[in-house]
Amino acid sequence: MSTPRLRIAVQKSGRLLQDSIQLLKECGIRIDNGRDQLKAPARNFPAEILYLRNSDIPQYIQDGVADIGIIGENTLVEKEKEGEVVQHLGFSKCRLSLATPRGTVYAGPQDLNGKRIATSYPNSLRAYLKAQDIDAEIHEISGSVEIAPNIGLADAICDLVSTGSTLFKNGLEERDIILKSEAVIAASPKIDATRREILDRLLFRIRSVLAARNQKYLLMNVPNQKVETIIKMLPGMRSPTVLPLAEAGWSSVHTVIAEDSFWDIIDQLREAGAEGILIVPIDKMIV
C-alpha cells in the first residue's frame, strides 16, 4: 500500500506560484515538476503539488480533492467556499479597495448609494455594501476593471490594489479598503488524520522559515564593563550569548534580532561601546 501524500494546490502560473514553490524549497522540499505538468510529486517529503487555476483552488479544497491550498486570502473569501486558514504566509500582500475618479466628491462609503460599481469581486463587494447599508448597482466584469469609469460603465470600482500605480495611471483614487489580503495556507474540511499529521510537519517547517525571514544573527565585540548595558538594549531572543575574546577585557555578544529593530538601536550600540558589529542572515529558526 502506497504512503498517503499531502495534496497541495498551487496557482499554475504567476507570481504567487513562484513564491509558493520558493517557500517549499526553503522548507527542504524538492519537487519533480516538469514543463506543463498538472501534478508533481515531492522527492523527499510525502506531498504532491497540484497546479490549478487560482479561482478553482477554493472549490478543490472544499471538495477534498486538494488537502491544502496556497492561495490569496481574497480569493478564498470571494469564492465563499469552506476552507480553514491555518497559516498566513506574509507574501503576495494586497488589498481589495473601492476607488473613484480623482476629483470626485467622496465623504465616505454612503456616497456610493445609487451608484454603479464595477468589480471582479462581486461577493466581497456585496457583503461590504450590505454591512454598510449601501444600495448600489454591481457590474461584474473581468479583466481591466479600472477602465470602467473612463468608458462610462461605472461610477466607481472595487479591485485589488498593491502599490496604487494602476489606479493613478487611470485617474482613480483609492477611497476605502474592503479587506486586506496575503497568501495563506487553507486546509480542506475533509482532510484525514494521516494527512493532517503531514500538514503539521509541513507547518512546522514553514513557521521556521517565516520566523527567520526578518531575523538576523547579530555579533559584536563589547568591553566587559559595557556588557550588561548592551544586553539591556537588545530586544532579541531570551538571553544573549556572551563569550570571552582572546584579548583581555573584551567579550563577544551574540543574539537574534529583528532587522528593523536593529536599525533603530545601531547608533546606541556604538555609543555604548560595541565594535566589530556583524549582521548574519538566518536560514531557519526553530522557536
pTM metric for this prediction: 0.85
Tell me: pLDDT of 236 over 70.
no
Tell me: pLDDT of 143 over 90.
no
pLDDT of residue 54: 93
The verdict on 189 and 72 lying in the same domain is: yes
The verdict on 21 and 138 lying in the same domain is: no
The verdict on 62 and 128 lying in the same domain is: no
CATH of the domain at 120: 3.40.190.10
pLDDT of residue 265: 83
Q: How does the average pLDDT of the chain come out, rounded?
A: 93
Could you tell me if residue 287 is inside a domain?
no
The verdict on 187 and 60 lying in the same domain is: yes
Residues 181-224 have pLDDT tens digits of: 999 999 999 999 999 999 999 999 999 999 898 888 999 999 99
Q: What is the 3-state secondary structure (H, E, C) of the chain?
A: CCCCCEEEEEECCCHHHHHHHHHHHHCCCCECCCCCCCEEEECCCCEEEEEECHHHHHHHHHHCCCCEEEEEHHHHHHHCCCCEEEEECCCCCEEEEEEEECCCCCCCHHHHCCCEEEECCHHHHHHHHHHCCCCCEEEECCCCHHHHHHHCCCCEEEEEECCCHHHHHCCEEEEEEEEEECEEEEECCCCCHHHHHHHHHHHHHHHHHHHHHCEEEEEEEEEHHHHHHHHHHCCCCCCCEEEECCCCCEEEEEEEEEHHHHHHHHHHHHHCCCEEEEEEECCCCCC
Could you tell me if residue 54 is inside a domain?
yes
Give me the mean pLDDT over the 226-242 stretch. Answer: 84
pLDDT of residue 121: 97
Tell me: pLDDT of 87 over 60.
yes
Which residues is 159 bridged to in the sheet? 97
The verdict on 172 and 231 lying in the same domain is: no
Could you tell me if residue 286 is inside a domain?
no
The verdict on 142 and 241 lying in the same domain is: no
The verdict on 173 and 204 lying in the same domain is: no
The verdict on 199 and 74 lying in the same domain is: yes
- Residue 137 belongs to domain spanning: 94-180
pLDDT of residue 242: 94
- Grid coordinates representing 24 are 517549499
Quick one: pLDDT band at residue 161, thresholds 50, 70, 90? very high
Could you tell me if residue 1 is inside a domain?
no
CATH of the domain at 246: 3.30.70.120
The verdict on 59 and 110 lying in the same domain is: no
Could you tell me if residue 87 is inside a domain?
yes
Pick from 226, 222, 221, 231: nearest CA to 265: 231
Residues 28-62 have pLDDT tens digits of: 999 987 667 889 999 999 999 999 999 999 999 99
Could you tell me if residue 46 is inside a domain?
yes
The verdict on 81 and 132 lying in the same domain is: no
Could you tell me if residue 243 is inside a domain?
yes
Longest CA–CA separation in the chain, Å = 78
Quick one: pLDDT band at residue 234, thresholds 50, 70, 90? confident
Number of domains within the chain: 3
Tell me: pLDDT of 238 over 70.
no
Could you tell me if residue 254 is inside a domain?
yes
The verdict on 75 and 206 lying in the same domain is: yes
Quick one: pLDDT band at residue 245, thresholds 50, 70, 90? very high
Quick one: pLDDT band at residue 237, thresholds 50, 70, 90? low
Of 190, 212, 234, the residue that ends a domain is 212
The verdict on 158 and 276 lying in the same domain is: no
